[in-house]
């Protein structure tokens, strides 16, 4: 890594949305729908945006589609300069170090603030190999790196010793921890350098991570409730854990429901269609939409947490946004 670094070391915190990628019924990228989603996020005060992550179906996106999603996120985020500008963290990690570096360099050219780099999947590198992979991307990718640990997807865990060594690298700025290993996360929170962020990778664990000294969440649920996830994180970081717990308790069924009936992002796309945030919940195969029984269960959850009324009318921030968007289109 050269001594000169055009990308300062950001302190990432708060609610950061792992954005879904909308598709048309024919399976093409629906860029206008994606732009509307990012506008909704920014209007809700979101702290950060992650295009092209797991929730965005990154394995089935072409490089051209990745470019369009990252560029759109940066463009819309930049319009928020008069208020709070969300950080754009592009998902550029693969199980190929050279490809990850290439995608990260491209995201840097498009104006991203950081890169989300998933632990290499399928080829199952050990700790030494894992550390070399992340250091190579941090050295040569041209962006600050958020390490993404999600053993349930990758088949490999980045243990605390390995991450804490990586955290000494000047361009490794955060970890998205989705290991569901409380001991591991607690140790990282205790021992990580003060300018490196610990971000929950599971919505249901957000409050616990914040209580242990973590900094926020890269959230699936904030596709549906961005303002509420911002409020949860802000309350906890201000020391108002009673308010943070109130929000957590209210939306816990949704946190859990987003992972029932199918792998992420199958349930969240169904919920967003039910809420009017997406016109269709189309996914790219091998993923398929929720079956009807699971869709009915998601609809019941949306009613339970107060996002949809008994008649199916969307209420709250999402309801106001979708109504305003419909009026603008009309």
Please tell me the distance from the alpha carbon of residue 8 to that of residue 55, in angstroms, as a whole number.
27
Residue 269 is a catalytic residue: no
Q: Please, are residues 92 and 55 in contact by the beta-carbon 8 Å criterion? A: no
| Structure token digits, residue 23 | 């598709």
Identify the active-site residue in 122, 148, 269, 321: 148
The 8-class DSSP code of residue 289 comes to P
Q: Please, are residues 248 and 225 in contact by the beta-carbon 8 Å criterion? A: no
Q: Which H helix or E strand runs over 187? A: helix 182-191
Provide the CB-side half-sphere exposure for 183 (13 A, CA). 2
Q: Which residues are 14's β-sheet partners?
A: 216
92 phi/psi in degrees, rounded to 5: -130, 10
Residue 124 is a catalytic residue: no
H-helix segments, the chain: 31-43, 63-78, 97-109, 127-140, 151-154, 160-166, 182-191, 206-211, 226-237, 241-257, 266-274, 292-304, 316-329
Identify the active-site residue in 176, 260, 293, 321: 176
**CA trace torsion 80, 4, 89, 287 (10° rounding):** 150
Q: Please, are residues 91 and 56 in contact by the beta-carbon 8 Å criterion? A: yes
Residues 6+ positions from 320 with CB-CB distance below 8 Å: none
| Structure token digits, residue 199 | 């971000």
Output b/e per residue, 5-32; b: 16+ Cβ within 10 A: eebeebebbbbbbbbbbbbeeeeebbbe
Catalytic residue IDs: 148, 176
């Amino acid at each position: 890594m050269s001594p000169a670094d055009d990308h300062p070391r950001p302190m990432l915190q708060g609610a950061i949305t792992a954005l879904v990628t909308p598709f048309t019924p024919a399976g093409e990228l629906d860029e206008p729908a994606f732009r509307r989603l990012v506008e909704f996020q920014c209007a809700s005060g979101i702290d950060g945006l992650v295009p092209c992550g797991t929730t965005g179906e990154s394995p089935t996106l072409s490089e051209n589609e990745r470019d369009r999603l990252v560029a759109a996120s940066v463009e819309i985020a930049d319009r928020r300069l008069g208020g709070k500008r969300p950080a754009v963290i592009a998902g550029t990690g693969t199980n190929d170090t050279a490809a990850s570096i290439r995608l990260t360099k491209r995201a840097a050219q498009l104006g991203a603030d950081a890169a989300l780099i998933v632990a290499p999947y399928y080829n199952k590198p050990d700790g030494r190999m894992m550390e070399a992979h992340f250091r190579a991307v941090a050295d040569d990718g041209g962006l600050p790196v958020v390490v993404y640990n999600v053993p349930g997807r990758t088949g490999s865990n980045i243990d605390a010793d390995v991450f804490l060594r990586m955290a000494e690298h000047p361009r490794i700025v955060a970890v998205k921890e989705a290991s569901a290993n409380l001991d591991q996360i607690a140790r990282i929170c205790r021992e990580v350098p003060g300018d490196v962020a610990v971000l929950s990778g599971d919505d249901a664990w957000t409050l616990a991570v914040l209580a242990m000294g973590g900094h926020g969440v890269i959230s699936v649920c904030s596709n549906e409730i961005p303002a509420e996830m911002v409020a949860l994180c802000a309350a906890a970081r201000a020391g108002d854990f009673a308010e943070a717990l109130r929000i957590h308790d209210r939306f816990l069924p949704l946190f859990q429901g987003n992972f029932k009936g199918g792998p992420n992002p199958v349930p969240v796309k169904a919920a967003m269609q039910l809420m009017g945030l997406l016109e269709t919940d189309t996914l790219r195969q091998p993923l398929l939409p929720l079956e009807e029984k699971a869709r009915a269960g998601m609809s019941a959850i949306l009613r339970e947490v107060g996002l949809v009324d008994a008649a199916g009318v969307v209420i709250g921030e999402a309801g106001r946004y979708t109504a305003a968007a419909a009026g603008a289109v009309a």
